[in-house]
Each structure stands twice: as structure tokens, then as C-alpha cells.
Amino acid sequence: MIFTPLPLPGAFLIEPELQADNRGFFARVWCAAEFAARGLHADFVQSSISFNHRQGTLRGLHYQAPPHEEIKLVRCTQGAAFDVHVDLRPDSPTFKRWHACELTANNRRAVYIPKGLAHGFQTRLDNTELLYAIATPFEPTAARGVHWNDRSLGIDWPITPPLVISQRDEQLPRLPE
């Protein structure tokens, strides 16, 4: 696996190294030892799927409040997504900065999102599915979010406004100035 640090500290793009032959290819997409060797959390306790019928569906920006912060490993297993993470750590040099990765079933990339970052995505194709590995069990009372169109973040979403968004996500708060 190839681990590429992303602009927000602690976030990584992870790409499989394909071992190809006339049958196709084989590649590792998860190895606890390789994660641990880089100081990354390697104990995921929950896995979830997000399936989205329509292109332009937006989910997020979501995070969990302390002490239930989540570490996520997100991969697109069908379709394509504009995957965004936002630094919400006030003491971070990249506080309120965002970064996006193009995750597709074809590029087989994953993004590692550390504690303190909000996460969201917008689908680029119909019938897009994302697979999450999560290090902390979901705690409904700790669920939080930031409005997708918060001006202080300035996220450049591919489709604005989103074609599909939940009422809950549309009503998420904006960050204080």
C-alpha cells in the first residue's frame, strides 16, 4: 500500500499496489501492521456502508464530539465521490481548512481521516457506495456536524446546490466566525 500524507495533519491517501498478471490483479487494501508502523490507528471496531441513488447527493459534514471522536477509513466501492475532510482542531495549523480526494471504484483509493476532522462527500455518479471502517462505535448523543456551505470554509463542491441532501444535513450549524 502507498500512504501519501494529505495537507491536513494526520490525514492520508492510501492507494493499493496492484500485483497484476493475465488474470487481473491482487492488492492489499488493509494491513494493521502497515498502519501501526506509520503511527496510524489500526483497530477499527465498526464498518458501515453509505449507498446513494443519485449523482449530486451530499452527505455531511459530520463528526462526533469528544470523547467519542472518530477515526475513519473511507473507500468508494461503487461509483465515484468527491470526498471532503475539514480540520476542526482549534490548535491545528490547518484549523478550518479542507481537503478533497476523488474516490472512485476504479481508482480504489481510500482516505484515512483522523480525530478532529469533519467528513462529508458528494456523489459524482448515480448509485455510488462508500465503505467506512470506523475506530469508535457510533454514539448518537455525540453526533455533530457543520453546514456543507459554511462560508468560513469555502468548500468548492462540484454541484451547488446539492441535488439531494437530508433535512438534517441542510440544518447543520455554521462555524462561529
- The residues annotated as belonging to the active site are 62, 132
β-strand 143-145 against 58-64: which pairing, if any?
Answer: antiparallel
Eight-state DSSP code of residue 171? T
**Of 166, 160, 176, nearest to 143 (Cα)?**
166
What residues contact residue 110 under an 8 Å CB cut-off, 6+ apart? 13, 14, 15, 29, 73, 74, 75, 103
Q: In whole angstroms, what is the distance from residue 17 CA to residue 27 CA?
A: 6
